[in-house]
Structure formats: structure tokens, C-alpha cells
Amino acid sequence: MDIGIDLGTSRTRLFIDKKGKVLDEASVAAYNVAENRIIAVGDEAYAMLGKTPDSISAEFPIKDSVIDQSLLVEDMLNILIKQVYTGKIIMPRVVSNIPGDITEVEKRAVVNAISSFGVRRVYLIENIKAAAMGAGADIMGAHGTMVVNLGAGTCCAGVLSLGGIAMSKTVKTGGNKMDDDIVKYMRREHGLVIGNPMAEKCKRTIGRLVPIEKEVGFRVKGRDSLSGLPRFVDVTATEIMRVLMDTAKEIVSIIKDVIEETPPELVGDIYTDGIILTGALAKLEGFDTLISEVLDIKVTLANEPEDCVILGCGKAIDYIAEVEKNVKNDINPLMAAY
């Protein structure tokens, strides 16, 4: 049995060979602080965020797409894998994605966390390659394909050709930064203290990056910053759009940088084919339109953009055999095995 693992800042996704995506849960672990004992992981732990007593802590152990708390990640992974694989796990081979600008130490942390449940071998694939493969793009030919993956902790723009990355840039910003901006805005402009889950709900419900024709609102619930008492504020989509725009523009400028630094022959391909958007944040209303308008380029939202990376890890499983048999293939998307 071979499996794919996408350890994302906000979600962990698992893929089992010949089955497809089998799990998609929040990357959260809740534990008893005194006893250091895991209480819940995934969506169950996410529901506890901000509501835990002192004795319990619920945390995201992956920050900006890299492992921040390795023991929590190991526990979380072990429990999630057991949820989807009840049979006896016979030393699976694993393909997992890593962000573009990762250090050796950070890479090692991913491999160690995955190895902790007894795997035969871990193969790594760069995030943007997995995203492109999962979106169904042909990245093996002598043709430039531009993919932008928009996540919670990082966003990456890359141009792929001949199975490799011709140009790419990763920034530590994304959906989480937008949520932080909503939290700060509500406090500053409305004197309302809210948690990140409420901000995320607001972003997902009315968030958008293109003007709205018929205004809609969202009731943000929190605590008055002065009295400390419960209070709510009704915000409009237009108001929240202005809050989200700073981060969105930063992301668009990264995409522009990548295009500007890409060799001319490949840029020609990109202008003909356009850009493919992946990652769950790509579902933010109007993100595709904003990029397309600012950069004057065609933008296509991938089907189920949140699944592209994990599906790409799944597809990359097919390349393991070649690596193991030492077949020389310059366009194999997998990085070294560990």
C-alpha cells in the first residue's frame, strides 16, 4: 500500500493508492497539558479552538507550511491514518509535498514525522509540482505551465517545464494572514474582539475580491473590547473586501514577479494557456478575476482546487517504481527518497 500525505497549515489530506483522497481534516491537535496526552485531532480538535479550559490546549502544529511542533504532528498523523486505514499497515511507501523554499532541517522534520508510524520510504515532491499534476496539467513536455497554489500559510507561484521548475516563488502569506487582518480590523474599527475561527467564517461566507452588485452582510460575534461583554457587529462584503485586498495584492505581485523572471520562450506559453489556480484559498470569490485583470492574463480555477496537491501526491506514487529500479528519468517529479 502506498499513500500520499499533504500536511497543510490548515488541513491535512490523505490519499491511498487505488482509492483516491480518503481524508481531509483540520491540522489541529488538542492535548491535556499536564499529562501531555492527545485528546482529539482533526476537525474534532478544530471545534475546540478557543474554547478549551486551562488544562487543555488545541493548536495548529504546522505553521506557514512547515512543522512547528513535531511531536504533535506525529500524534495527529498517526491517529488520522488509523482512521482511514484499519487493516494492518505493512510499511507503506509515502509521497508527501513540501513547500518550495524549505530548509534541510524543515525537510527532515517532515520525513521524521511521517517515518514515526513505520514507513518503508518517504518520497518528497515540491508543492507546486504536486499542485500542477493534481490539476491535470501536463508538466513533462517542453512547454511552460504556470500554476499558483493559494493556501492558508503559504502561496506559491511557479512555472513548470520538462518535469522541472523553471521559476518559482513562495511567500509566507495566505488565508491565515487574511483571517488575522479581519481580527485586527474588527478590533480597530468596531471595538470587537474575535477569534480566528470567526474571522475565517466571515471570509468564507462573504469574502470576495471583486465588487459586489447586491450588498450582503455577515454577523460577526465576539466580545466588546471595553466592556468585555458579548456583542455582535454586522459587516458588509464591501467592507471585508477592503480588508482582504492587502494580502491579495501582495500575492498578485508575487505572481507578477515570477512571470517577469521567467525565460521569454516559456512566458509565451503562459500567455497562450493562462495560469492555473489551485489551493482552497483559490475559491475566494473573485481571486481568479483579480489576478486576470491586474496581470492581463487568462486565469483558470482548477476543479476542486483544494484537492490538487493531494491528488498530485497520489499521481506521483506512480513514479516511485522508477526511482526504486534506478531508472534514469530526468523528468521524474519525485525528490530524493529517505
Contact residues toward Mg ion (CB under 5 A) are 8, 151
For the CB of residue 106, give the shortest distance to Mg ion in the complex, in Å. Answer: 15
> Could you say which of ligand ATP, Mg ion, none residue 134 binds, taking C-beta under 5 to 8 angstroms by partner kind?
none
3-class state of residue 212 by DSSP: coil
Residue among 134 and 151 whose Cβ is closer to Mg ion: 151
Residue span binding ligand ATP (CB under 6 A) among the ranges 36-44, 46-54, 265-273, 279-287: 279-287
Between CA 128 and CA 169 the distance in angstroms is 10
Chosen residue from 100, 175, 312, 314 binding ligand ATP by CB under 6 A? 175
CA distance 162 to 331: 6
| Residue 72 or 140 having the CB closest to ligand ATP | 72
Query: 186, 201 in Cβ contact below 8 A?
Result: no
Shortest spacing between CB 110 and ligand ATP, in angstroms: 12
Quote the CA–CA distance of 261 and 276 in Å, as a whole number. 18
Residues 6+ apart with CB under 8 A from 213: none
Q: What are phi and psi of 250, to 5 degrees?
A: -60, -40
With contacts defined by CB under 6 A, name the span among 3-11, 51-59, 77-85, 209-217 that binds ligand ATP: 3-11
* Phi and psi, residue 135, nearest 5°: -80, -5
Of 3, 4, 8, 14, the residue at the interface with ligand ATP (CB under 6 A) is 8
Closest CB to ligand ATP among residues 181, 266: 181
42 binds, among ligand ATP, Mg ion, none (CB under 5 to 8 A by kind): none
CB within 8 A of 152, min separation 6: which ones? 8, 9, 10, 11, 174, 175, 176, 280, 281
CB 92 within 8 A of CB 17: no
The residues that touch ligand ATP, with contacts defined as CB under 6 A, are 8-11, 65, 151-154, 174-176, 200, 203-204, 207, 279-281, 283-284, 306
